[in-house]
């Protein structure tokens, strides 16, 4: 009995916590030897290869954000294969490991989709919403991996401020230039979190909003476009014998509302794009700046970034879901807007 307790006690003082302590001590030593530098902030993604001209697409280069998206895709495909393998055996046993994680995410997400969109549309919306959630979540969390935005090609810059090179074994690292001098080197990172690139967020926003239009068309038929150009009352106006003030005013109000709806659709694309981009870009800059100023405070900000990455992915997926649901609902019974009620 005593032996069992001792074994349990031994297990509690595990190996991993010593590993973590070792990393912390290593961090202190390394940061003392090579002080961290504030990062170079680039708004646009940096190309890693030479540009290649492709007939339709124009000049294309492999940028560091695309590389990160490819890695995220490969990770997700591997995860999908692993989950598929885990369920291959069949049976009703509880899933373990990565299959359990994905079952949890998928189940929670499906319940959410069903509660917002109703069971009629849930199966249609779920693949899109779930894909957006998992992809954005993966890409956002990849920002927290070590090596992101810090390993890459060193290149010489001719204008502006840079850093000095310092030998570090077989590789060289950047260091703060000496007092009163400006360095001439900077870094093009190999990996950069994809959601800090406008192209990534814009493309997902476009996919989401185009899907909203398609779903609206499927749900409401051609009458869906009445939302944007409502001439129903306008046509009625010609048919009327006697015209009151409202009968003339209402058609124009309807047309104006249609224009507003059209603007709102584009505003949603922009809002989708900049919400994710702004949040993640600011987070990356924040992590870099804080990491260069204070040594240990960055750990707290990493937790903050985990939270923000999760919240932004959730919000992106939820808003897509809400817009999809709205597109199916607004024109279910939209044709019954009688002008008499407005009087």
Partner 1 sequence: MEFNEFFVSGMRLLAAGLAMVGTIGAGLGIGLAGSGAVQGIARNPDAAGTIQVNMILAAAFAEAVAIYSLLVALVLVFAAG
Residues that bind partner 1 (CB under 8 A): 41-43, 112, 115, 271, 274-275, 277-279, 281-282, 285, 311-312, 314-315, 318-319, 322
State the minimum distance, in angstroms, from the CB of residue 160 to partner 1: 8
The bridge status of strand 164-168 relative to strand 152-156 is unpaired
CA 318 to chain centre: 12
**Alpha carbon distance 223, 225 (integer Å):** 5
Q: Which is nearer to partner 1, 175 or 315 (CB)?
A: 315
CB of 233 to partner 1, least distance (A): 31
Residue 221 and residue 331: Cα distance in Å, rounded? 9
Q: Which is nearer to partner 1, 233 or 279 (CB)?
A: 279
Q: What is the DSSP letter of 252?
A: H
Least distance to partner 1 from the beta carbon of 238, Å?
A: 41
Nearest residue to 61 (alpha-carbon basis) of 46, 77, 72, 50 = 50
* Cα 47 versus chain centre, distance: 21
Task: Tell which residue, 208, 224, 212, has the closest CA to residue 332.
Answer: 224
Residue 322 beta carbon to partner 1: minimum distance, rounded to whole angstroms: 7
Q: Shortest approach of partner 1 to residue 311 CB, angstroms?
A: 7
> Which two structure tokens, joined as six digits, stand for 157?
């810059």
Other Cβ atoms less than 10 A from the Cβ of 160: the count is 9
Choice between 42 and 265, CB closer to partner 1:
42
Between 30 and 44, CB nearer to partner 1: 44
C-beta of 160 vs 169, nearer to partner 1: 160
Residues 339, 343: Cα–Cα separation, whole Å: 7
Closer Cβ to partner 1, 80 or 311, answer by number: 311
Neighbours of 327 (CB within 10 A): 24
Nearest distance in Å: CB 272, partner 1: 9
Alpha helices in 149-231 (DSSP H): 198-220
| Tokens read off for 202 | 């814009």
């Amino acid at each position: 009995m005593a032996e069992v307790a001792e074994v349990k006690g031994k297990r509690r003082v595990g190996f991993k916590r010593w590993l973590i302590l070792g990393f912390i001590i290593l961090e202190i030593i390394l940061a003392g030897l090579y002080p961290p530098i504030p990062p170079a902030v680039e708004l646009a993604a940096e190309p890693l290869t030479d540009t290649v001209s492709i007939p339709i697409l124009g000049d294309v280069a492999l940028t560091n954000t695309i590389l990160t998206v490819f890695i995220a895709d490969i990770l997700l495909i591997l995860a999908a294969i692993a989950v598929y393998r885990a369920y291959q055996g069949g049976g009703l046993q509880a899933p373990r490991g990565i299959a359990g994680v994905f079952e949890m995410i998928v189940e929670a997400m499906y319940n959410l989709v069903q509660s917002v969109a109703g069971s009629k549309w849930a199966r249609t919306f779920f693949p899109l919403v779930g894909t957006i959630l998992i992809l954005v979540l993966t890409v956002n969390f990849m920002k927290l991996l070590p090596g992101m935005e810090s390993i890459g090609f060193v290149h010489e810059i001719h204008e502006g401020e840079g850093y000095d090179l310092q030998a570090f074994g077989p590789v060289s690292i950047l260091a703060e230039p000496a007092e009163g001098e400006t360095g001439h080197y900077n870094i093009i990172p190999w990996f950069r979190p994809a959601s800090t690139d406008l192209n990534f967020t814009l493309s997902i926003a476009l996919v989401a909003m185009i899907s909203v239009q398609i779903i609206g068309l499927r749900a409401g038929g051609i009458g869906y476009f009445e939302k944007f150009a409502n001439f129903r009352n306008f046509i009625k106006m010609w048919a009327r014998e006697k015209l009151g003030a409202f009968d003339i005013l209402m058609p124009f109000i309807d047309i104006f509302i249609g224009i507003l709806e059209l603007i709102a659709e584009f505003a949603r694309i922009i809002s989708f794009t900049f919400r994710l981009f702004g949040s993640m870009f600011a987070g990356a800059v924040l992590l870099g700046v804080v990491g260069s100023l204070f040594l240990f405070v960055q750990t707290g900000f990493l937790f903050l970034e985990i939270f923000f990455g999760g919240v932004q992915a959730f919000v992106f997926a939820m808003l897509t879901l809400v817009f999809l649901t709205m597109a199916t609902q607004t024109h279910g019974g939209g044709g019954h807007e009688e002008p008499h009620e407005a009087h």
